[in-house]
Structure formats: C-alpha cells, structure tokens
Structure 1
Amino acid sequence: MNLLYLTFGDNIRNHTQAYFSIYSFLAKGIQPASLNIITDKPWYYKSIEKQVNIIEANAALLQEWMGPYQFFWRVKIKAIEKLCRMYTGEPVLYLDSDTFFYGTGRDYENLSRSEQAIMFENEGPLKELPSKTMKTMSAQLKNLPLAGLSNLSEWNMWNAGVVFTPNRKDAKEMELALALCDGMCGSKVKDQFAEQFALSVALQHLYGLRSADNAIAHYWSNKEQWNEVIRTFFIECQMLGLDFEEQLKKYREINVHNYPVVRISRSTNRKLKQKVDQIFSDKKIEYLKPPLPFKH
C-alpha cells in the first residue's frame, strides 16, 4: 500500500503531526510499499528523507490544482489522483496529518487488501446532517444532477481525514470526484465541504465505502491536547539525542489510549471564553528594545 500525506504552510504543528503519524506506522514495523509527502516545505522533512518520498508542491502547482474555481481543498483530490497515477493498480491511502495508526499489523494488511474504498467514518446522509452548512448544501443539491449522478442530497457524507482507494479503475474515482467538486463550485453550491462530499460520493459510487475508525485515529476535535503530546515527544527525542531507531522505540512507549481523540466543546463554552479574553485582555505586553550601538 502507498501512503500519502499532504502538508503545506508555515504552521510547524501540521508538519510535526505528519511526523507523528508516519512514526505510528514505522514504530510497529509496518513498511508501506511507499511513503509519500506532497508539501510546499520539503526542507521540514530532511531528517526522514531516507524513509519517505518527498514531492515538492510549489505555489504554481498548488494554484493549478485548485482548478478553474480556485477552490483550495480541491488540492486534496489532485494529490490523491497523482498517487493513483504514480502507482497504477496499487492501493493508495491518504491521511490528514492529524491522524495516527493504532491498529495491528493484521489490521494494516486487512486495510491494504480491501476491495472497498475506505474513509474515516460515515457522518450520515447529507440531507439529515444538522449543521446549517450541511442543510444549505443539501437544499442546493436536491435537484441538481452533477457528473451524471442525481439525488445527491441522499448520499452519505464521510469524514475525509482518511481516504483509501483500491486504485483499480485507472484513477476514474478521482476524475469523478474532481467533476463533482468542480460542478458544485461552478453551481455556487456552498463549498466548505465540497471536496469531502465529492470524494464520499465518487468512492461510494465506484467501490462502496466502509469505515477506518477501528485502526486509524483522527483527533481533529482535540488537536490542542495532541499537539502538546507530540511537541513533548519530539522535544524529548531532541534533548536525549536519540537517533531515528531510538525515536521509534520511544514512540512505542506512548500509550495513545490515555488521551481522548474526540473532544467537542459546547459553543457556549467557547463564546464565554472569547468574551472573557476580550473583557480581561492582557494587562501589559512588552518587547525587548533594540540593543544600543556599541561604543569604543
């Protein structure tokens, strides 16, 4: 199986998350057929360049991948398509950086041999999802056929933090996802989740879908705590002077069951905290002054 991560931007936490996810496979002795990172910051992966295939995505390529409507998250579909064409006929597993593998070697083998496509979890039929954004999408898609498919509001929305394709259809699944994504953008459908829904529909249509949440964790709702776990791990590795194999050994000491992977805060809680921060803002902020010129 060929693994893929897509990372970009200056936020170092996204890149350390990708490292942590990569370690979650290698620390278990799992050796994917290939380990690929598409990134606009290839220099961040210098320390694991022997373990991964680094594919640089410069600004021009990212702009091209955003397509005719310059929808940023279309880039995810294009990245998966690139891997499908690089490894024709071989399974491809895309992972968001805020994921990690916690299953066994047997789980990995079962995943890699799946004849069905896999995404993280089924969130339910689009028309039944409660958020305002989903309701708007559903209403806009109700009588809008796209890419030869109709009744789109009836289809399930799947979480796209994990996307696995058996890759046995010459990348037709990604071509369909792109057509659906572009169709939604071109028809002014609310596009916040356009790439996610496009992948959900395309993979359901061509392969059928099942969940990956029994072997892969996706901590999107508790990033703050996991970022601290990851930060502490890599700082300790650096301070102890551990080489790569020693770092993998140390990774195995982490009990990933000690930290919640789902933590949904109440909106009232968030709003109150924001209000308190506004009312009781920092009393004093002071920066170092520039040094005085040296006098002989």
Structure 2
Amino acid sequence: MNNRKVLVYQAYGIRDIIHQTIFSITSLLSKTLSENLNLEIWIYTDQELTFSQFFGDHVNIKIVPINMEQVKKWRGQIDFVHRVKVEILKDAAGKFNGPIFYCDGDTYFLSSPTELFSHVNDRFSLMHTAENALAPGVDPLSKKILHFTKNNHFQVGHETIGIGPSTVMWNAGVLGLSQKNKSFLPMALEMTDQMYARYRKHVMEQLAFSFILQTKSQIMAADQVVYHYWNQKDEYQQAIDDFLKKNKNIKEALENLSHFSWPPAPAPKSPKRALVQKILQRFKRPRAKE
C-alpha cells in the first residue's frame, strides 16, 4: 500500500514570502524531530539557491524550480494570483500517488500534523478553518459574495453548479486531498476561472475549494495544528526577519526556535469595528477595482 504524502508550498517573488515559508517549514520540522517523518515537503520557488542554502540536503525537502514566466502562465487569462496555487497543486498531484497537502507560507505549526494528515481520505478533506456561511452575510465581503452567488451559475463539465446561501466559506491557507480526491483540482480551477472572470474578488479560489470539498466530502479543520497569521503579517514578518538574520540554516533555526519573539495574539474585533478599520485602510492606499 502506497502511503506517500506530499506537502506543497509556493514561495516566489518577494523576500517576505520566502522568509515566511522558511519559517513555516522550520516550525513543522521542529514539531516532528522525534518522528520518522513520512512527509515530503515540495517547495515551488524561483529562489532555489536561498532554500538549498538554508535547508541543505535535508531528506524531507524537495525544491521544485519555477520562473516568473511560468507563474504568469499559471495566473491564466484572468490574471489571478491565487490561481497559481491551484495550478501548482495540479502539477504536484500528477507527479506521485498518495494524498496531497498544502500550506500558505504565512503559517506555522503548533504541533505535529502526522495524526491530522492521517485522517485525510476519500471521505474527509482538509482546510484551515471555517470562517462563516455566506448567509446571512456577517461582513461586507460575505454580503457581496452572497449577492454574486445568488445571481450566477457555473458550467463545469456537464454539471451546472449553483452555490447555495448555506455554503460555508473555509480558509484555504491549508488544504488536504486524498489520492482519489485530487481529481477535484481541475474542477476547482474551472470554477475559479469562471467566478473570478465575472467578479474579481481575491477569495474566489477559496470559495471554489470550499464549495467542492464540502459538497463532495466532509471538511476537517486544521487550525488546532496550523496557525495562520494572515491578519498579523506585519508583526510576524518583522519577528521572522529578525530571527533569520541570526539563524542562517535549518540547524541553527531549530536550535534557537525557542528564542523566537512570538507576537501577541490580536484582540478580538467586533464586526462593526472591523468594518470601520477596513474603511480607514482605504484612505491609506489606492482602492482596488471592484
């Protein structure tokens, strides 16, 4: 029985993403030091030298070189940055037999993922955490997405798809699919293309995965094992940059991870306060086109 498992990262472009990914993998390796880790970590990157210098010939690490021309192709005709994630997963999925996992770079591991990953099968898939159902629309973005899904259907293969208001939006910072369920990836790509072409919101690949995985399997949450600091990137980026200035390779990083300066957890925000802060942020930067 083939029990090969692969965890995929995408790490290209700016230094921040490279450093985040290095730190995420370091945290994973730190939580599995006592295990015979049966997990390959594939890093799709345009900075092969940076990763090879940091991780050396670590047995669990595989660097998959890509370039920005390939990234541009993977962004597709819709020119969507998160489409690249789906294309990378499709590329990786076709290269081995076994379940596939994915983590965003802005994550770190709270504990070993071995047990959690072992529960991924044809019935159970993995995403990071359930955010909210589309209805009743607890925030402005959910209301916009709800309005969009009420007024649009999508033709994927021979299937006409409607996304109902009870659909739960899950965070796609972590993903896990069985060997059989890797066949959902082309569907996720097609849905992403159609939805983003009609409504250019940054969560469309996340909505595609959320809908497909909750209708064709049951979704397990990964947030008790993987922390996703998407809402604290500035604080974590500074701490990670400082840490990697002092720790130049995986050996040093593992030895000194206990001295990492962890940023404090953010205070809970009420929906009203979050909306006010979002409005204020729009005065600080150019507003993206709807």
1:80-229 equivalent positions in 2, closer than 5 A: 80-88=89-97, 90-103=98-111, 105=112, 107-115=113-121, 116-146=124-154, 147=156, 148=159, 149-169=161-181, 171-186=182-197, 188-229=198-239
Query: For the residues of structure 2 that align with 1:229 and 1:72, how far apart are their CA atoms?
Result: 26
Q: Higher mean Cα deviation, 59-68 or 266-275?
A: 266-275
Alpha-carbon distance in 1 for matches of 2:85, 2:259: 32
Q: CA deviation at 1:62?
A: 1.5
Superposed CA deviations along residues 1-41 of structure 1, whole A, max 9, x for unmatched, are 3111111212x121111111101111221534311111222
Percent identity between the two aligned chains:
23
- Please give the secondary structure, in 1, of the residue aligned with 2:135: helix
Q: Secondary structure at the match of 2:102?
A: strand
Letter in 2 for 1:74: R
State the secondary structure of the residue aligned to 1:210: strand
Larger CA Rg, structure 1 vs 2: 1
Three-state SS of the structure 2 residue aligned to 1:72 is coil
Instruction: Measure the CA separation in 1 of the matches of 2:257 and 2:57.
Output: 19
Which residue does the alignment assign to 1:285? none
Q: Distance in 1 between matches of 2:87 and 2:278?
A: 35
Question: What's the counterpart of residue 22 of structure 1?
Answer: 25
Q: TM-score scaled to structure 2, two decimals?
A: 0.81
- Distance of 2:50 and 2:152 partners within structure 1: 43
Q: Secondary structure at the match of 2:247?
A: helix
Aligned counterparts of 1:274 and 1:77: Cα–Cα separation in 2: 29
- Does the aligned pair in 2 maintain the 1:173–1:202 contact within 8 Å? yes
Deviation (angstroms), 1:71? 2.1
Q: TM-score normalised to the size of structure 1? A: 0.79
Q: Name the aligned partner's letter for residue 53 of structure 1.
A: K
User: 1:113–1:262: structure 2 CA closer, same or farther, 3 Å change rule?
Assistant: farther
The one-letter amino acid of 1:124's match is N
Q: Indicate how the Cα distance of structure 1 residues 274 and 79 shifts in structure 2: closer, same or farther if over 3 A, else same.
A: closer
**1:76 alignment partner in structure 2:** 85
Deviations 1:28-59 (A, max 9, x none): 21534311111222232131242321112222
Matches within 5 A, 1:58-77: 58-77=67-86
Q: Which is further off, 49-58 or 212-221?
A: 49-58
Partner of residue 289, structure 1 = none
Which residue in the other structure is 1:232 paired with? 242
Count of aligned residue pairs for this structure pair: 265
In structure 2, stretches of 5+ residues that fail to align are 285-290
CA shift for structure 1 position 269 = 6.0
Partner amino acid, structure 2, of 1:160: A
1:87 CA drift (Å): 2.1
- Of stretches 194-203 and 51-60 in structure 1, the one that deviates more from structure 2 is 51-60
Give the unaligned 5+ runs of structure 1: 277-296
TM-aligned CA distance change 1:247 to 1:132, over 3 Å: closer
SS of equivalent residue, structure 1 residue 214: coil
Determine the C-alpha separation between the residues in 2 that align with 1:270 and 1:130.
Answer: 14
In the alignment, the residues of structure 2 paired with residue 185 and residue 270 of structure 1 have an alpha-carbon distance, to the nearest angstrom, of 22
CA apart distance, 1:181: 0.8
User: 1:25 corresponds to which letter in structure 2?
Assistant: L
